[in-house]
Each structure stands twice: as structure tokens, then as C-alpha cells.
């Protein structure tokens, strides 16, 4: 069973690496679970257990992502801008919630981990038409970068 202490381990690991998300499997646990905190305060990590994406927006955005499981590398990945996620929180309560933009990207990235897929596994070649596209570093040095 997962207890409060275990969650703390995930939170700490995520923050230590300046990530905004971390899947349990990345720290050696074969659980369908991940933590996420897209705020800067590092005070409100959300826990997602048995997450299932029930709806995807048609609009997508291609952007770069970094990953704690592939240090120093980046993958260019097309993600849905908006998703509806069904999951349980750490109290075991079920939620269905809509997430946008960075949170939606982070969730799709973490969901990939649950399937054993990494952002660097995506094939190159699907480039966004936007020349001035931003870089979203999921799980990597996103936070330190935006803080400087």
C-alpha cells in the first residue's frame, strides 16, 4: 500500500530535480500513479492514481519536453491542449477534471511513462508551424529556467 510517507518521497524527488511531474515508475514503483505540481510554490503537489484520459481536445501543440529519465535530452512531442482526466486522489476519491496547457502536457507525458514510453521516443518530423514556439521542459529544468 502507498502511504503518506511514500507520497512525500515522490514529491521530494520531483522537486529535487526541478520537475513539474514524476511518475512512480521512474523511481522504481510499478504503480499507475504520478505526482504533478505546475505551480512555482512547490507546495501543492497533486497525486493521480489510476489515471485515465477520457477526452482529448482536437487542438494540439508541438513542443519540446525534457525528462528526468533521459537527462540532457529533449523530445519534440505533439500533445493535446486540453484533456479530461479521470483519476483517484491520495484519499482514494475519484475525480473527473479538465486540464489545460502545461498541466495537460505534463499529464500526457506522465501517462506515457505508465506505458513505458518516453518523450524522446517520439519520431521527429512533426514540426509546429509556429516559428516562435516556446519550450516546455516537462520534468527537467523547467523551474530553474523560468526562475532566472
Annotated active-site positions, please?
Answer: 110
Q: What is the dihedral of CA 145, 102, 118, 94, to 10 degrees?
A: 130
79, HSE (Cβ side, Cα atoms, 13 Å): 27
**Scanning residues 2 to 41, which ones bind Zn ion (CB under 5 A)?**
none
Cβ at position 116, least distance to Zn ion in Å: 11
CB 119 within 8 A of CB 111: no
Nearer to Zn ion, 11 or 139 (CB): 139
Nearer to Zn ion, 49 or 67 (CB): 67
Q: What residue number has its CB nearest to Zn ion?
A: 67
Mask: binding to Zn ion, 43-72, rule CB under 5 A, as x and -?
------------------------x-----
SS3 content of the chain, % helix, strand, coil (to 5): 25, 35, 40
**Scanning residues 122 to 141, which ones bind Zn ion (CB under 5 A)?**
139
Nearer to Zn ion, 76 or 139 (CB): 139
Backbone phi and psi for residue 28, each to the nearest 5 degrees, phi listed first: 95, 10
Cβ at position 139, least distance to Zn ion in Å: 5
CB 11 within 8 A of CB 45: yes
Cβ at position 92, least distance to Zn ion in Å: 25
Nearer to Zn ion, 16 or 96 (CB): 16
DSSP 8-class letter at 75: E
CB 114 within 8 A of CB 76: no
User: Which residue ranges make up the site for Zn ion (CB under 5 A)?
Assistant: 67, 139
Amino acid at each position: 500500500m502507498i502511504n503518506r510517507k511514500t507520497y512525500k518521497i515522490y514529491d521530494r524527488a520531483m522537486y529535487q530535480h526541478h520537475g513539474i511531474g514524476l511518475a512512480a515508475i521512474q523511481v522504481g514503483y510499478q504503480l499507475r500513479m504520478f505526482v504533478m505540481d505546475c505551480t512555482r510554490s512547490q507546495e501543492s503537489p497533486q497525486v493521480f492514481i489510476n489515471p485515465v484520459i477520457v477526452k482529448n481536445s482536437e487542438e494540439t501543440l508541438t513542443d519540446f519536453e525534457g525528462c528526468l529519465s533521459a537527462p540532457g535530452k529533449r523530445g519534440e512531442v505533439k500533445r493535446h491542449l486540453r484533456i479530461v482526466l479521470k483519476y483517484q486522489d491520495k484519499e482514494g476519491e475519484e475525480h473527473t477534471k479538465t486540464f489545460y496547457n502545461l498541466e495537460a502536457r505534463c499529464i500526457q507525458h506522465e501517462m506515457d511513462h505508465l506505458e513505458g514510453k518516453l518523450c524522446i521516443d517520439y519520431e521527429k518530423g512533426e514540426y509546429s508551424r509556429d516559428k516562435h514556439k516556446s519550450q516546455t521542459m516537462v520534468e527537467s529544468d523547467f523551474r530553474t529556467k523560468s526562475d532566472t
